[in-house]
Structure 1
């Protein structure tokens, strides 16, 4: 492990709190260990560490992120993502391999959703030529986290969303029984409904989606009484 990584790991271990770590672990269904550092404090500690030690060099940051990812405590995966976000304007096409590794390693919604919307989404905007190859590869991978990434990477695109691509991803996954896929489909459709609710209603009417996906997709759409596509009207 590089000296930089070791110093960061040691620094955070000094601030662990067992009383906090146990409920954090329980919240994550016991999938991961925690030091017991809540998000606001963790971000402050990382900034404090960076003020003293500086950021890793551009040539080192990927390897340091992988070293942090290998640590058992979840806070280090969060720190790795914070570091990656600081470097994302320097992302190169090859960065997609690193992001893919992070998506399929220690996978859970808390890291995958951040990678999808903040990192993959940014990389694909910067290098759109990557989109056809990797969306096709990830959709066909049978890995639910790669599939979820394809569904969610355009969350922040707003009017720039490629709706054809979003629909393509949803239709490829719509029959999945996986909760995290069904939820992602609804989330992506709901987010775009803020831009064009009519398009989303038409899509939901025209396709058979899982009840969870349908319910989530239409959450922000206010229907007239009796015209709710089988969902409860939004209460004001």
Structure 2
């Protein structure tokens, strides 16, 4: 049985050692949230999640147990820090490599319920692993997510290949970007620019050509972000 309750109990105990109410106020302002925060630095949050998960889940748990702990922690979270911890657990390198396409329903749930950039963007780190287990199914899903009515789902699809470098599938990237080119939603336009800027490190000429071809439809923010370092 997955150590769901014990994980959250140990997590909270570990977090209390690093809580800082004054820092929490600044974090809430930065994230523009009224959700309770403990004022834990990202480094301390990661160290607690790493230690507790290693103790209770070990180095190679079954995917079902990993997803169960993630979902339980998310569902019972009493602070933004605990929700962040649920996502970070899934994205820990030793666990992310265990993630398969079977995790996508939970990932969608976390994106929809998280509905803010820090949580959504953190989840993207597991996408290359989910895709590796079922490339065709994953690509079809990202193309479907790129036209979803929920713009956070669309953002996830657009940035789903961040960090893949020369392994990036340009056709998939284009198919995720084109339906959203004219979208004025800030987080969608920013995602388009970010995805293009990330790939510009490896193929700047392709990015320049893409922007030149579509600049009349692109939002200015997307164009600026895409060409930022070119």
TM (normalized to structure 1)?
Answer: 0.85
Q: Distance in 2 between matches of 1:48 and 1:63?
A: 18
Q: Distance in 2 between matches of 1:139 and 1:205?
A: 22
User: Where does residue 113 of structure 1 map in the other structure?
Assistant: 121
Deviation at 1:76, TM superposition (A): 1.2
User: Where does residue 41 of structure 1 map in the other structure?
Assistant: 44
Unaligned runs of 5+ in 1: 222-236
Q: Distance in 1 between matches of 2:223 and 2:47?
A: 39
Deviation at 1:162, TM superposition (A): 1.1
User: Where does residue 104 of structure 1 map in the other structure?
Assistant: 112
SS, match of residue 195 in structure 2: helix
User: Where does residue 134 of structure 2 map in the other structure?
Assistant: 127
For residues 28-107 of structure 1, what are the structure 2 equivalents within 5 Å?
A: 28-50=31-53, 52-55=55-58, 57-58=61-62, 59-70=64-75, 71-85=77-91, 86-107=94-115
The CA deviation string for residues 177-208 of structure 1, in whole angstroms up to 9 with x for no partner, is 10000001111111111111111111111112
Larger radius of gyration: 1
CA contact 2:100–2:132 (8 Å) conserved in 1:
no
User: Where does residue 9 of structure 1 map in the other structure?
Assistant: 12
Deviation at 1:132, TM superposition (A): 3.5
Deviation at 1:47, TM superposition (A): 3.3
Structure 1 residues 53 and 126, CA gap change in structure 2 (3 angstroms)? closer
CA contact 1:99–1:120 (8 Å) conserved in 2:
no
Structure 1 residues 57 and 195, CA gap change in structure 2 (3 angstroms)? closer
How many equivalent pairs are there? 220
CA contact 1:174–1:210 (8 Å) conserved in 2:
yes
The CA deviation string for residues 101-141 of structure 1, in whole angstroms up to 9 with x for no partner, is 1111122111111212x112321133202223312321222
The farther-off stretch of 27-36 and 50-59 is 50-59
For residues 137-216 of structure 1, what are the structure 2 equivalents within 5 Å?
A: 137-207=144-214, 208=216, 209-216=218-225
Structure 1 residues 68 and 163, CA gap change in structure 2 (3 angstroms)? same
Larger helix fraction of residues: 2
SS, match of residue 215 in structure 1: helix
Q: Distance in 2 between matches of 1:122 and 1:214?
A: 29
Alpha-carbon RMSD = 2.0
Q: Distance in 1 between matches of 2:131 and 2:157?
A: 11
The farther-off stretch of 62-71 and 5-14 is 5-14
Unaligned runs of 5+ in 2: none
The farther-off stretch of 159-168 and 80-89 is 80-89
